[in-house]
Chain A
Amino acid sequence: MTSSDYSFAEAGVSDTRAGLATAGSPTLVADRLTKSFASRHGALGRTRRFVRAVDEVSLEVAKGQTIGIVGESGSGKSTLGRLMTKLLPIDGGSLLYEDSEVSQLRGQQLRDFRRRVQMIHQNPYGSLDPTKTAAHAMTEPLIVHGLAARREIRSRAEDLAERVALDPRLVGRRPDQLSGGQRQRVAIARSLSLEPSVLVADEPTSALDLSTRSEILNLLLRLQEEEGLAIALISHDFATVSHLSHHIAVMYLGRIVEQGPASRVASEPRHPYTEALLSAVPVADPVVQRTRQRIVLEGEIPSPDAIPAGCRFRLRCPKAQPECAITDPAMVDVAPGHKVACLLYPSQPLQNSSGQG
């Protein structure tokens, strides 16, 4: 990055819709998605204030592609995942699934959405019923949706086990009789049972050992290749995200601050927050790791009910300027498909000057 990049944009550019140039057609499109939670203050919690956990987030999940969503705890990435799967109602913006507004879906259409958009959680031990067998866990969604009869459970479970490379002889076991990797396979098989087109995976490998992690990553890669799954991968583990993702969105305090092709975001981060985040990710190479310079951020991520005026990152930003206290930066293109919300980058209608690299 050169000093010539550090020029300030004119303020007040209209917020652009996040239209990522994706190879596959978008399956799930979030446009200015917003979610607020009430937080209680004062004596006996009588005063209610609303905090925005997710603030006008726009992104697309495309068939056969993975979008990685990274950020620290408190960035709103898990809330975003819950909004995208309609586990939480949205407060503002829109969510389109195959061109239909998700909040308008009713009856059979809503059931179809619930079938086709599935979530994988971090801790398979917490998301599986300890009293039920793996076969039950994997096929329960089929029973609920009336897609399988109870007598078929065993055979359907064995088929699903094959798909996630789990030994079919293990389907009669309960979660405590399985290893961490096997449990996560059961959880993934359960999500796959309804033939989803979108998987939202929230930290799917964080609770796993190194060798088990690579097995689950391989499984997700294979399933995507074979079945064209659209995947939203939510993780704080940048190595995992950049290995799986085609696009990466970086979240800070409820907003996406940088978004673009994975290779570009990983190798040429433009937002000061992304730069700092990447510089803190340890590299498993002692020669490299010991010579790297980490960008130190001041303080901690602020509470979502005390978001600073102007740029929400400015109090911790090593490149903050007086201007940053006044203007809340909009997303601007810095390269085709690569957007940054930072006043360091002048806003140019990049589409007009096509071919610029």
Chain B
Amino acid sequence: MTTTSGAAHVSADTVLAVDRLRLDLGGRHPQPGLVNDLSFDVRAGETVALIGESGCGKSMTALAILGLLPAAVQVVGGSIVLAGEEIASASSKRLAALRGAVVGTVFQDPMSSLDPTMSIGRQIAESRRLHLREPARTAAERAVELLDLVGIPNPRARADAYPFELSGGMQQRALIAAAVACEPRLLIADEPTTALDVTVQAEILELLAELQSRTKMGLLLVTHDLGVVAGVADRVVVMYAGEAVEKAPTVDLFADPSHPYTRALLSSVPQAGRPHQQLPVIAGRVPPAGAFPQGCRFQDRCPHVMADLCTSVPIESTPVGVDHVSRCARAASGARMELAT
């Protein structure tokens, strides 16, 4: 049931399988390989975290899965199979039907996702009327149940409230209610708690876990908060410059990170026992798309870079443990990595 290969493992309970996905930006300033050789899957009831710095391709990947890529960005290779259906080549009409019904989304800022001119009850009901062709009255009733389910007090009265009348935490709950209204197989949550206070963040994460155990939906969580990842993710995909550099079960990733980028990311978190100490930093910055170096994309910032091995040919993912792969030439060659940090 586990796989050590880099390719997506498709089984009956796989709700999302991304396999060797490659995205190119066309136009006057083409950026080939914006996302490159990206493979991962999300199984029913599972939470997979997508982590990495801004510009690593996390959000572009999420948009590709939703079929919402900007016009200039094209899927030039690989496949995205959502609930058994190939969507990389699906029509925009079909994609629109899948969004909301099979895949739900929750974004960072609830105010920009909710329609400010429509009551939250209507927004939730609309999704069920559209996708499930439910009569207005039943849908409205179901919207109240959903608001109750996501922990909004006095849901019948609150269904008539407009988004601005709710607090940030309540808005995010309403948005989650809308996202899960049609019981999607997959929920994509892009920084769902970044704008929230820690106490509210904890409640929202608990709510998502509860919904998951009820409906067995898969959750793809895009975040840069390693504490959140440690708490809720079953598996982690670490992205760097458009590529997955490491994939592992969460506990293994934190206990035994293999890729130098993952190690650097983990060590940049302040440790409780060592206040006022300088934190390890990753020198340099993510190369802009279109200016990726030959070979490993992390080579310019890597303390372990080796000439030729890292700088000539693209690096393939290599198994380094059970269900654990690393896109590092040293891991592939078996060379020992002396660790400074």
Interface residues of chain A, those whose CB is within 8 Å of chain B, are 72-73, 179-181, 209-215, 217-218, 221-222, 236, 238-240, 242-245, 262-263, 266-267, 276-277, 280-290, 294, 297, 300
Contact = CB atoms under 8 A, between A and B. Distances in A.
B279 A284 contact: no
Contacts, number: 112
B254 interface: yes
Contacts of A266: 272
Q: How large is the interface on B (under 10, 10 to 19, 20 to 34, 35 or more residues)?
A: 35 or more
Interface string B157-189: 000000000011110000000000000000000
Contacts of A277: 198-199
Instruction: State the majority secondary structure of interface residues on A.
Output: helix
Contacts of B266: 284
B167 to A, nearest CB: 6
A294 B201 CA distance: 12
B281 A211 contact: yes
B183 to A, nearest CB: 27
Given A236-B198, A243-B270, A300-B169, A284 B227 contact: yes
Given A217-B270, A282-B202, 13 more contacts: A73-B168, A180-B54, A210-B226, A211-B282, A214-B268, A215-B281, A242-B270, A266-B272, A277-B198, A284-B227, A284-B230, A289-B227, A294-B202
A181 B285 CA distance: 10
Nearest to B196: A73
Contacts of B277: 221, 243
12 contacts: A209-B54, A209-B224, A218-B281, A236-B198, A239-B227, A266-B272, A267-B272, A282-B227, A284-B226, A285-B254, A289-B230, A300-B169
Given A243-B276, A300-B169, A280 B268 contact: no
B290 interface: no
Contact of A221 (B168, B228, B276): B276
B141 interface: no
B267 to A, nearest CB: 9
B224 A282 contact: no
A283 B268 CA distance: 13
Contacts of A245: 275
Interface in B252-277: 254-255, 264-266, 268-270, 272, 275-277
Contacts of A238: 198
B230 A283 contact: yes
Contact of A214 (B198, B254, B255, B279): B279
Nearest to B253: A286
A263 B273 CA distance: 9
A294 B199 CA distance: 9
Contacts of A287: 251, 254-255
